[in-house]
Amino acid sequence: MTERRIRLNGLRQSTVGHTAIGLWRHPDSQAHRYRDLDYWLDTARILERGRFDALFVADALGPLDVYQGRVDAALRDGIQTPTDDPLLAISAMAAVTRHLGFAVTVSTTYEQPYAFARKMTTLDHLTGGRIGWNIVTSALDSAARNLGLVTQLPHDERYAMAEEFMEAVYRLWESSWADDAVVRDAASGIFVDPARVRPVGHEGTWYRVPDIALAEPGVQRTPVLYQAGTSPAGRAFAGRHAEGVFLSAYLPSMARRLVSGVREQAVAAGRDPASVRFFAIATVIVADTDDEARAKLADYQRYASVEGALARWSALMHIDLSALDLDRPLEYVDTDGIRGMVELFTTLDPSRTWTPRAIAEFVGVGGGGPVIVGSPATVADELERWMDEADIDGFNIADPVPPVTFRDFVDLVVPELQRRGRVWREYAGDTLRESFHGPGVTRVRDDHPAATHRWTTA
Amino acid sequence: MTERRIRLNGLRQSTVGHTAIGLWRHPDSQAHRYRDLDYWLDTARILERGRFDALFVADALGPLDVYQGRVDAALRDGIQTPTDDPLLAISAMAAVTRHLGFAVTVSTTYEQPYAFARKMTTLDHLTGGRIGWNIVTSALDSAARNLGLVTQLPHDERYAMAEEFMEAVYRLWESSWADDAVVRDAASGIFVDPARVRPVGHEGTWYRVPDIALAEPGVQRTPVLYQAGTSPAGRAFAGRHAEGVFLSAYLPSMARRLVSGVREQAVAAGRDPASVRFFAIATVIVADTDDEARAKLADYQRYASVEGALARWSALMHIDLSALDLDRPLEYVDTDGIRGMVELFTTLDPSRTWTPRAIAEFVGVGGGGPVIVGSPATVADELERWMDEADIDGFNIADPVPPVTFRDFVDLVVPELQRRGRVWREYAGDTLRESFHGPGVTRVRDDHPAATHRWTTA
């Protein structure tokens, strides 16, 4: 491809309402089938047919209960509540695909490095090297309350814990088993050569991992690492560790600032900033013509839930928006969070009066990023503009009416992007990391911090 | 069936050496493929073809390092070291089967009830109600060391914690969401009725779970519960909670004592003792004739590892057997553990001199239970004898040369047992609990402690 390849990820959570709230009511929506294995198998097949790099599965570890201080609004629209575990459908999806990667969200705050490293290695084994990990530290108070913490840890302490967590899992993945440890030599009776396996010996502030890794390494050893944090601590963390960054931005210029912020941090960490890949959330509503696509969006918008959107935004911002007048412009509210939100939406459209209702309607079909509407050519133009103006590597495509939105994208947009030479027709290799860095590159790059833990022959 | 049905489970761990040590060297063994998805898909298909109730997946959370105080012997034969996570291949196996159940081992000691309940519910969703949980508390010091505990908790404290853990997960599975909570009514815009979901409100000594369960209930709500403990605390725990008990015994009379011990505890807990099902570990080596089967066993025995068996037994008994003279009768060793072992093996064969080598050879092909050898008729006779004399409900069939031993059993023994009316030709229902208790019984029985937490309409 002459132009830079547009890298595609599918965005999902094992829940009813995620980026789009209320659209479960649309007659075409299969969102309620999130519990069914077939729903995930269909999804994986669709995305692989569209040559997506990966399916990204988000998660939330507690109910959404900031709005009204209750879980009621979240339950009514199934907004990340209920939600199922993101790891457990992966092997089934791997069984019906050959190349699609899987980026699963797991919080460092509620895992032990020893058991978690084995989980990821097991998934690396079962998927044949197609597993990625979206590293989060969990901001929800409701998760902390129910998972053994009396209160939420402070944000920066969570990131300090996460740093030590990374150190421990890197050692488990990269340093404990030499590449030639598994010899499987029936003649000498040696399956694993004990001289080629060594203890991890991690003794830290939060974690203690004295022994050898319990799982032999997978093809990728360290899973492909993703991150989505945009706070200063989050950007620094992403600059050090992330190979892929999921962005939430409504304008290419906003995305570009986030991209350059993380790339600067990557440079500071001694990494090639070009090796970090950025994916912007986008909701794409496509049809054969622009008019039909606009009609489709209008149809979807009829199902968007205003209260549901406020409940989701309350949880995201840690501010209970239920106290606000739905139809009063927000300028009168004097908190940092609300001021930031007003600023954001005023930048998007200065001509509009931004009330809570207006914001809720705006994010109803596609929270977290742009809603791109039109014919395949219109959509492709807009995606190309984002690629250039935001300096990103691809997108995290949302699925507001699952799996219809994914299928529309794959049937209509992907062929157009392939014609333009922007989406590949075949995968580059068999592993997720090869989708990132090219055929043969199955391990972390030499400039990645995990590489410092490699067991290299002296 | 006029005779009592023989219930079959397949016994596996995601590792190289489990009940049989050293047999990975046999040319037919696929044990090294434990990391491959296809290996598990093949296994699931074979067991469903043989109308097995379930695949039981064991686990170990730390390396086996008691023998010589080192992990070397365990590594050389891959004895539960390395081992992969048992939960992550389940959905893939569910995708290629329709009825086979899955009993996965998870320790209460290293999980939080809130997150663990969601994992099991997710598997209940993805398998369509075919998930079971083998409850363990983890005896390995190596697990404790690497999973955040400074030292192993005392045995009885682990069981006290496990009791509270069960209380918390029962509430999450049975009490938080009413059966009619998920209404999915597009007209009223209600996916979940908040009035039909309630907080768990568990405040205990070890665990705190104030909020609603994060996952909506699965078909079974509480997964089918298994247990394998034989200590007094373990028997009492099994009597209270287990619907299925995995037994390790070398003689029917030994098994019978364990069975009646747990049934007494079930009575004490107010449960119907007949509702608890007992499965004895058995290794079956079958061929068309007795002579061929004996030749097959002799062939397998050539690959059994004496040192490997000692390493495994050292871990099981928490005694380092490497200090002992391999060929000296064990009477001179004056510890409870060794005395118990000598007593056990002398009961099995009083005519033999039980040295460490003799014991290691004896358990080499099939540790944990009888090795039953012969033609299909001979094997069926012996399984029927065990059923009657041990008062058990079925077996936990080991797979020393995977998946050959499973395939042999399904191809040769199952048809013979079906002819005798002892193994069913079709499954009774779609869920694992229906395999236990009959068509339509998808939830825990009314006399089970989980049932006390049900949200019944007043």
Residue B300 covered by a domain:
yes
Give this complex's ipTM: 0.97
The distance of A454 to chain B (nearest Cα, Å) reads 19
Selected residues 62-81 of chain B with any CB under 8 Å from a CB in chain A:
62-63, 65, 70-72, 75-78, 81
pLDDT on residue B392: 97
Tokens of A447: 């400039």
> Are B142 and A207 within 8 A, CB to CB?
no
With bands split at pLDDT 50, 70 and 90, how would you rate the model's confidence at B293? Answer: very high
pLDDT in tens, A243-293: 999 999 999 999 999 999 999 999 999 999 999 999 999 999 999 999 999
What DSSP element (H or E) covers B41? Answer: helix B37-49
Nearest CA in chain A to B122: A84
Selected residues 151-190 of chain B with any CB under 8 Å from a CB in chain A:
184, 186, 189-190
Q: Is B85 on the interface with A (CB under 8 A)?
A: yes
What sign results for the dihedral spanned by CA atoms B61, B64, B70, B71?
Answer: negative
CATH number of B94's domain: 3.20.20.30
Residue A454 covered by a domain:
no
Q: Do residues B174 and B450 make contact, with C-beta atoms less than 8 angstroms apart? A: yes
pLDDT in tens, B209-261: 999 999 999 999 999 999 997 788 889 999 999 999 999 999 999 999 999 99
Nearest CA in chain A to B107: A115
> Are A76 and B142 within 8 A, CB to CB?
no
Size of interface A-B (CB pairs under 8 A): 231
Residue B284 covered by a domain:
yes
pLDDT on residue B334: 80
Q: Cα(A228)–Cα(A246) distance, rounded to whole angstroms?
A: 5
Which residue out of A25, A79, A85, A121 would a mutagenesis test of the B interface target, given it has the greatest number of B Cβ atoms within 10 Å?
A85
Residue A77 covered by a domain:
yes
Residue A299 covered by a domain:
yes
pLDDT in tens, B169-197: 999 999 999 999 999 999 999 999 999 99
pLDDT on residue A38: 98
B199 contact partners, CB below 8 Å, separation of at least 6: B176, B210, B211, B212
With a pLDDT cut of 70, the percent of chain A lying above it is 98
Residues in A touching B219 (Cβ below 8 Å):
none
A155 is in an annotated binding site: yes
> Are B122 and A72 within 8 A, CB to CB?
no
B59 is in an annotated binding site: yes
What DSSP element (H or E) covers A162? Answer: helix A155-170
pLDDT on residue B442: 97
With bands split at pLDDT 50, 70 and 90, how would you rate the model's confidence at B457? Answer: low
Q: Cα(A359)–Cα(A342) distance, rounded to whole angstroms?
A: 9
A457 is in an annotated binding site: no
Residues in A touching B126 (Cβ below 8 Å):
35-37, 40, 88-89, 92
Q: Is A385 on the interface with B (CB under 8 A)?
A: no
Nearest CA in chain B to A185: B25
> Are B89 and A142 within 8 A, CB to CB?
no
The distance of A38 to chain B (nearest Cα, Å) reads 8
Q: Cα(B190)–Cα(B193) distance, rounded to whole angstroms?
A: 6
Residue A20 covered by a domain:
yes
User: In chain A, how many domains are there?
Assistant: 1
With bands split at pLDDT 50, 70 and 90, how would you rate the model's confidence at B2? Answer: low
Q: Cα(B392)–Cα(B200) distance, rounded to whole angstroms?
A: 37
pLDDT in tens, A374-429: 999 999 999 999 999 999 999 999 999 999 999 999 999 999 999 999 999 999 99
Nearest CA in chain A to B72: A194
Q: Is A28 on the interface with B (CB under 8 A)?
A: no
Q: Cα(A24)–Cα(A86) distance, rounded to whole angstroms?
A: 20
Cα angle B293-B298-B304, degrees, rounded to a multiple of 5: 125
Torsion of CA B424, B425, B428, B432, to 10 degrees: 70
pLDDT in tens, B119-155: 999 999 999 999 999 999 877 888 988 987 656 678 7
What DSSP element (H or E) covers B239? Answer: helix B232-241
The distance of B441 to chain A (nearest Cα, Å) reads 21
pLDDT on residue A152: 67
> Are B214 and A114 within 8 A, CB to CB?
no
Nearest CA in chain B to A169: B146
Q: Cα(B430)–Cα(B98) distance, rounded to whole angstroms?
A: 7
Q: Cα(B438)–Cα(B17) distance, rounded to whole angstroms?
A: 35
Cα(first)–Cα(last) distance of chain A, in Å?
40
A83 is in an annotated binding site: no
Q: Is A442 on the interface with B (CB under 8 A)?
A: no
Residues in B touching A27 (Cβ below 8 Å):
186
pLDDT on residue A297: 96
Q: Could you check whether the bond before residue B82 is cis, i.e. omega within 30 degrees of 0? A: yes
> Are B95 and A94 within 8 A, CB to CB?
no
The distance of A61 to chain B (nearest Cα, Å) reads 8
pLDDT in tens, B334-374: 888 888 888 888 988 899 988 989 888 888 898 889 999 99
> Are B127 and A37 within 8 A, CB to CB?
yes
Residue B162 covered by a domain:
yes
**Top-confidence residue, A2 or B204:** B204
Beta strands in A210-350 (DSSP E): 224-227, 244-247, 277-286
Burial of A45 (0-12, 13-18, 19+ CB in 10 A): middle
> Are A78 and B191 within 8 A, CB to CB?
yes
B231 is in an annotated binding site: yes
pTM of the model: 0.97
Provide the residue range defining the domain that includes A94: 7-175+217-446
Nearest CA in chain A to B150: A208
Which residue out of B84, B110, B136, B221 would a mutagenesis test of the A interface target, given it has the greatest number of A Cβ atoms within 10 Å?
B84
> Does B84 score more than 80 pLDDT?
yes
Concatenating the DSSP letter of every residue in A25-64 gives: GSTT--GGGGG-HHHHHHHHHHHHHTT-SEEEEE--SS--
pLDDT on residue A151: 63
Q: Which candidate, A8, A31, A102, A18, places its Cα nearest to that of A59?
A: A18
| Nearest CB to B197; choose among A75, A94, A191 | A75
Q: Is A84 on the interface with B (CB under 8 A)?
A: yes
> Are A189 and B88 within 8 A, CB to CB?
no
B323 contact partners, CB below 8 Å, separation of at least 6: none
pLDDT on residue B149: 66
pLDDT on residue A281: 97
Q: Is B192 on the interface with A (CB under 8 A)?
A: yes
Residues of chain A with pLDDT under 50: 1
pLDDT on residue B152: 67
Q: Is A118 on the interface with B (CB under 8 A)?
A: yes
Residue B199 covered by a domain:
no
Q: Cα(A190)–Cα(B76) distance, rounded to whole angstroms?
A: 5
